[in-house]
Structure 1
Amino acid sequence: MKNKQLWINHIKGLCICLVVIYHSVITFYPHLTALPPGLTEYIAKCWIYMNLYLAPFRMPVFFFISGYLIHRYIEQVKWQACIDKRIWNIFYVLALWGILQWLGITLINQWLAPDLARNPTSNAAYSATLMQFVISMAKASTSLWYLYALVVYFIAFKLLRAYKVPVLIALSGIYVVISFMPLPWWGMNSVVRNMLYYGLGAWFGPQLLAWMKGFSFRQHPMICGLVGIGSLALYLVNVPLVISVVSIFVIMKIFYTLDSRRESRPEAFLNIVGSNTIAIYTTHRIVIEALSLFTLAQINQGQLSGQVMLAILLFYPFASLAICILTGLGFRKLSAKMFGDMFFSPPAKLGPAASAS
């Protein structure tokens, strides 16, 4: 029987890879203070700009798929049966890993960069006090804001499912407004901006996927060209909404077409990664902090040869990605075998309404 959902898992795998690369770049290249002018500086800037331009193609499709996969819970499953799996489970992982990231990254900074000044309010992981940590988490100023968003989105879209079109129109307007007047908290800004994509998946995902499967680019070249030019023009004036929606459609069409020609396999790399997105997402930020601080010290102190430094600058995001994936997968297996998977799912005896699911 055809594994009809595997191609969607492959997209999830691609998305989490892009997220890890994004964090690898922003924690490394902007902090290189001893690069000589020339090729090395050019490579660093290329990674920074490429990372920036990938933004419309990273989280929108991730959130659309996240919404699509819980469509049934939104439309058919009663609240009592949703609380444990769709709300409590995610909140548990968010709270637990928020604390683990805070403790882990604090210790890493004290060990590898004790003199480095961090803004304690910029990220919950850099908090100096418990109160700062709680406030930052409440404002979604955390590297785990994706999990924060999943909890908020599920509750909001299940409550508002009787007003689908007006809500999505309002979210589109809000998106455009905050493109020019961002909210003061970067995490909450990201949560609000991506809400529309999750809603499209949660409310209209099955219909949009059915339409996507039957759509042919060859039969509508003029329309595709005009949409592409229009979305790019809006993106250049800081309104990436349309190009993000288009990217969702194009990415899903590509993966669906590839799956139609050659069926996705469970042992494929992207399927394995896509099946373990939460483990990779929660662990990667700690790994990246240690890796970036260590590597930055070697480069900024001039302890590496020119050839080694050039190789690092070229391939650092890919090396970081490989290490983060292996760490996430390994820790997930360790959690399952030794701790009853308590690092990624709440202990049954502590989970509320366990019998209702």
Structure 2
Amino acid sequence: MHNSKTEEILWINTLKGACILLVVLYHVVSPGFENTLHYLTAGTLVAKVWIVFNNVLSPLRMPAFFFVSGLLAARAILYKSWREVFTSRVTNLLYLYLLWGVIQWLSIYAISTGITGQRLSDNVNAAWADSPQQFIELMLVAMSSSWYLYALALFFLLAKLFCPYRLPLLLAAVALNYAAVGDMIPGWGLASLAQYFIYFLTGVFYSREMIHLSEWRRGNTGRWLLLLGLAVGHIWLGLEKSLFLCLLSIAACIALARKLNKYLDLSWLNWVGRNTLQIYVLHRIFIEYFGMTAILFALHHQLFAYPLFSLLWAVGFPLAMVALCSACSMAVWTLLNRGMGKSLFIYPKLLRMKFDL
């Protein structure tokens, strides 16, 4: 391990940047892009590769995101008082969750019904709620496009409250993970909260051990083989998103992120990693608008009947949409994040506190 603190920050930002782009890709591919497969006259195999790629990365995408979030929250959980962190770590996240839940709902509902007359997704989601009551009900059970913010606030609260009882907390999180992976928890929102809590706790309490595991040392061989054996055993039992497979994926990607930063200039990806919030809260709106517009335009003009167009669509649509929606999210954030607009991205009281300082 390099003793450079800069390198450690770089791999964290690299992993965060990769995860947020994979989250955007997930929302682009499923279900919008996936639903266009039966229209394609060429490139079907390539399109299916995108879908498989999207599914194969599920053991990494959100587990790694929550692991890094736990790692970054560890100091506040373990060493700071409630007074020092409650507003910034709990109130701020719940404020952003509610605020962007409303913004996404109004924006996406307007796009779906007012502009296109259709929905890009059939998922039960607060962003497509038919009434204020349904919106509130779905938000309470984390069935919102901004559910990650809700999860972070809840996970931080539980981790700090039960920090003195680390072992029972970890055992409860493992039990919840198995319940979620085994489809024993109804609703994707609550199931997601249950599934990913353990990775946040791993980041809080065992980030040092995970980083050590990611290093290519002879002493780690036995640990890797044990985790691999457990992961394969769980896959054999039908639990493809097992805890052990996800931990292996996280450790491997820490190692990869550090190695890539050593030999390549990843400043653009690390910049993305420092700006995950704005991409996260805004990208779904742009996916809905650009994705639905592109699909309806192609269908209206029967463009899928042309093999060349179908092939270009199969190859390039996911990449183009990820780049476009991420860029638009950053552009809108740049325009809005000034004056009163800053309150769209941070709890107003924290803004006043920073100003007073």
**Is the pair's TM-score, using the shorter chain for normalization, greater than 0.5?**
yes
Matches within 5 A, 1:321-340: 321-340=322-341
Q: Tell which deviates more after alignment, 245-254 or 229-238.
A: 229-238
Partner deviation per Cα, 1:251-282 (whole Å, 9 max, x = no partner): 112222344x34877xx111110011000000
1:31 to 30, 35, 39: 35
Partner deviation per Cα, 1:149-182 (whole Å, 9 max, x = no partner): 0010000000010111222122212212322233
Q: Is this contact kept in 1: 2:33–2:318, CA < 8 A? A: no
TM-score, normalization: structure 2?
Answer: 0.88
Identity of aligned residues (%): 30
| Distance in structure 2 (CA, Å) of the matches to 1:28 and 1:40 | 16
Q: Which has the higher helix share?
A: 2
The two structures, once aligned, show a CA RMSD in angstroms of 2.7
2:40 is equivalent to residue 41 of structure 1: no
Q: In structure 2, what is the equivalent of residue 191 of structure 1?
A: 193
| Distance in structure 2 (CA, Å) of the matches to 1:84 and 1:286 | 27
Q: In structure 2, what is the equivalent of residue 203 of structure 1?
A: 205
Gaps of at least 5 residues in structure 2 are none
Q: Is this contact kept in 2: 1:231–1:243, CA < 8 A? A: yes
The code of the aligned residue for 2:90 comes to I
Aligned residues: 349
1:107 to 100, 107, 110: 110
Distance verdict in 2 for CA 1:349–1:141, change over 3 Å: closer
TM-score, normalization: structure 1?
Answer: 0.88
| Distance in structure 1 (CA, Å) of the matches to 2:144 and 2:275 | 20
Distance verdict in 2 for CA 1:129–1:14, change over 3 Å: same
2:19 is equivalent to residue 20 of structure 1: no
Matches within 5 A, 1:233-248: 233-236=233-236, 237-239=238-240, 240-248=242-250
Matches within 5 A, 1:1-357: 2-3=5-6, 4-32=8-36, 34-36=38-40, 39-114=42-117, 122-209=124-211, 211-212=212-213, 215-217=215-217, 221=221, 224-225=224-225, 227-236=227-236, 237-239=238-240, 240-259=242-261, 261-262=262-263, 268-304=267-303, 305-348=306-349
The code of the aligned residue for 2:232 comes to L
| Distance in structure 2 (CA, Å) of the matches to 1:247 and 1:19 | 16
| Distance in structure 1 (CA, Å) of the matches to 2:50 and 2:120 | 24
Distance verdict in 2 for CA 1:227–1:156, change over 3 Å: closer
Distance verdict in 2 for CA 1:108–1:355, change over 3 Å: closer
Runs of 4+ in 1 over 6 A off after TM superposition: 353-357
**Following TM superposition, by how much is the alpha carbon of 1:95 offset from its aligned partner in structure 2, in angstroms?**
1.1
The code of the aligned residue for 1:270 comes to L
**Following TM superposition, by how much is the alpha carbon of 1:315 offset from its aligned partner in structure 2, in angstroms?**
1.5
| Distance in structure 2 (CA, Å) of the matches to 1:81 and 1:355 | 17
Q: Is this contact kept in 1: 2:105–2:127, CA < 8 A? A: yes
Partner deviation per Cα, 1:43-77 (whole Å, 9 max, x = no partner): 33332222111100111111000000011110111
**Following TM superposition, by how much is the alpha carbon of 1:2 offset from its aligned partner in structure 2, in angstroms?**
4.8
Q: Is this contact kept in 2: 1:86–1:151, CA < 8 A? A: yes
The code of the aligned residue for 1:224 comes to W
| Distance in structure 1 (CA, Å) of the matches to 2:233 and 2:291 | 35
Distance verdict in 2 for CA 1:323–1:355, change over 3 Å: closer
Partner deviation per Cα, 1:277-309 (whole Å, 9 max, x = no partner): 000000000000112211221333453233122
